Amino acid sequence: GAGVSQSPRYKVAKRGQDVALRCDPISGHVSLFWYQQALGQGPEFLTYFQNEAQLDKSGLPSDRFFAERPEGSVSTLKIQRTQQEDSAVYLCASSLLGLGVDYEQYFGPGTRLTVT
Amino acid sequence: AQSVSQHNHHVILSEAASLELGCNYSYGGTVNLFWYVQYPGQHLQLLLKYFSGDPLVKGIKGFEAEFIKSKFSFNLRKPSVQWSDTAEYFCAVRTGGGNKLTFGTGTQLKVEL
């Protein structure tokens, strides 16, 4: 079946521009995560949705970052007034809800954001 | 807050050599542990995971990892690497029944013919 998809795959923004990054999770996956991966680093958690509810946004670095999942499926990560330190790969992951041994997060290909 | 340390940032091996990548985490409670791999140009994929039970976990492509609770470690091993194992490897932990993953900084493995 189809995996997690993200668009666009690459985005170049001028400093100060707003950007919107889209994530289509695996159909039926209740949980959706956004991670930020800076060059040479591991992914860092940004925010988590369970269906349409944003249950954890503790990783969002500033109030310029905003995420939504209005219908519990597709999610959008919006960054306002982009700055150079926002340059990174933004990863989306989805999973079934649960604490059992079948728990796994499935990752999308990421959106590489470059702010010039 | 929990953290994950991967001590080897770059590893270069010849084909057929044995591999061990270190991973240590800092968290005193219940943990679930994961190794993810990212092949060049591809997205993150799960290699293996530990939840409970036998501390020696076997994953895909001949990889295995051992959970040693007393050492807070979850090292990844493979007896004989292949050129196709060239990739970046990430250790990750899920703690306390939560949902988010905390990742290490990754280890870039290059296997030479």
For residue A105, the chain B residue with the least C-alpha distance is B46
Contact B48, B63 (CB under 8 A): yes
**How sure is the predictor about B1, in pLDDT bands with cuts at 50, 70 and 90?**
confident
Of B52, B99, B104, the CB nearest to A42: B104
pLDDT at A103: 79
pLDDT at B29: 84
Q: How far apart are CA B18 and CA B26, in angstroms?
A: 27
Residues of A in contact with B6 (CB under 8 A): 42
Contact A92, A25 (CB under 8 A): yes
Instruction: Please indicate whether, in this complex, the C-beta atoms of A107 and B99 are within 8 angstroms of each other.
Output: no
pLDDT tens figures, A57-83: 999 999 999 999 999 999 999 999 999
Instruction: Please indicate whether, in this complex, the C-beta atoms of A107 and B43 are within 8 angstroms of each other.
Output: yes
In DSSP terms, A66 is beta-bridged to: A78
Residues with Cβ within 8 Å of residue A66, at least 6 apart in sequence: A60, A77, A78, A79, A80
Among A17-21, A60-64, A103-107, B57-61, whose mean pLDDT is lowest? Answer: A103-107
Please give the torsion angle defined by the CA atoms of residues B98, B101, B102 and B107, in that order, rounded to the nearest 10 degrees.
150
